[in-house]
Chain A
């Protein structure tokens, strides 16, 4: 999974994935700030992360 990129579904930027990326991991596109969720590791796929809901938190 090292140094792989995916396309941001919002702005088409290349999003570089961190080492050891995990399924369902949350990432932010460095270009547009959109939060993305890794939905598949093989093949690598991302989609927009779920919107923050009112009850989300600590």
Chain B
């Protein structure tokens, strides 16, 4: 069986992953999402962009930076019975902060309090239910884009008006979280299957600590409590290869903030000493472990 990898571009992560597949003796077929062209009325016998039938693939590793392309590809391939890492089920939950919150709540996983409302008036009410400061986030999106710390009612009114006037309908779903004082850092923990393989602290003087926004990565020991929480959270959203964003409250409680299903890790192998690409590739290959061969 062949192994495919869907990408939008080759970023440092994809380069590391491709090298790791080679190190494992497996040639991975890299496909650009811009070249995908599925006949939705037909099945897996149709050809992928490289001229190989999709049915030849034992697993397809989804590494698209474009969430919508990756997720629809996962939906199609899973419908045809082709496993993907991650599954469409997992991706569809993790790509939506509202659905992530809902699934975590259903599994009693600690997280910041969050509310949703759909009009400007009810959004103000939702934020005031949480109390100031609160954090408004688009339900879809990444890299800390369009996050807003709402310090008072005037800020709330301004942000909501901007989103109402300038945003498309996605931005009219007003998702707000209680602001968590996290001491200038949060934790990014990497889950592969049923293990938390490593974690980093992301430290920043800014309240947004994403490394994409300048947060500095240092090693975070994976304690039993952190591992337990992350594994439980991963299971709640369907499992796979996931990056957990975790807050540590002043009282030491760990809260799952967000879960990322197409994780970036370029800054994380060095501080943790863990070969993340190797762990991920071994997990992907476990889907075809009976059939993968060096010539596939």
Evaluate contact between A23 and B65: CB separation under 8 angstroms. Answer: no
Closest to B265 in A: A58
B243 at the interface (CB under 8 A from A): yes
In the bound complex, CA of A58 to CA of B141 (Å): 8
| Contacts A54-B141, A57-B142, A58-B261; A25 near B66 (Cβ below 8 A) | no
B15 at the interface (CB under 8 A from A): yes
Distance in angstroms from A57 CB to nearest chain B CB is 2
B143 at the interface (CB under 8 A from A): yes
Distance in angstroms from B183 CB to nearest chain A CB is 23
Distance in angstroms from A34 CB to nearest chain B CB is 14
Distance in angstroms from A47 CB to nearest chain B CB is 12
Evaluate contact between A58 and B9: CB separation under 8 angstroms. Answer: no
Evaluate contact between B11 and A57: CB separation under 8 angstroms. Answer: no
Evaluate contact between B66 and A55: CB separation under 8 angstroms. Answer: yes
Evaluate contact between B7 and A24: CB separation under 8 angstroms. Answer: yes
A26 at the interface (CB under 8 A from B): yes
In the bound complex, CA of A54 to CA of B145 (Å): 9
B32 at the interface (CB under 8 A from A): yes
A49 at the interface (CB under 8 A from B): yes
A1 at the interface (CB under 8 A from B): no
Q: Which residues of A contact B7 (CB under 8 A)?
A: 24
Q: Which residues of A contact B90 (CB under 8 A)?
A: none
Evaluate contact between B262 and A58: CB separation under 8 angstroms. Answer: yes
B99 at the interface (CB under 8 A from A): no
Distance in angstroms from A22 CB to nearest chain B CB is 5
In the bound complex, CA of A54 to CA of B138 (Å): 11
Closest to A37 in B: B9
Q: Which residues of A contact B262 (CB under 8 A)?
A: 57-58
B1-45: which residues lie under 8 A (CB-CB) from chain A?
Answer: 7-11, 15, 18, 30, 32, 34
Evaluate contact between A24 and B263: CB separation under 8 angstroms. Answer: no
B46 at the interface (CB under 8 A from A): no
Provide 15 A-B residue pairs closer than 8 Å at the C-beta atoms, listed in order of the A residue: A23-B10, A24-B9, A24-B30, A25-B10, A26-B10, A53-B66, A54-B145, A55-B141, A56-B66, A56-B142, A57-B141, A57-B145, A58-B142, A58-B143, A58-B243
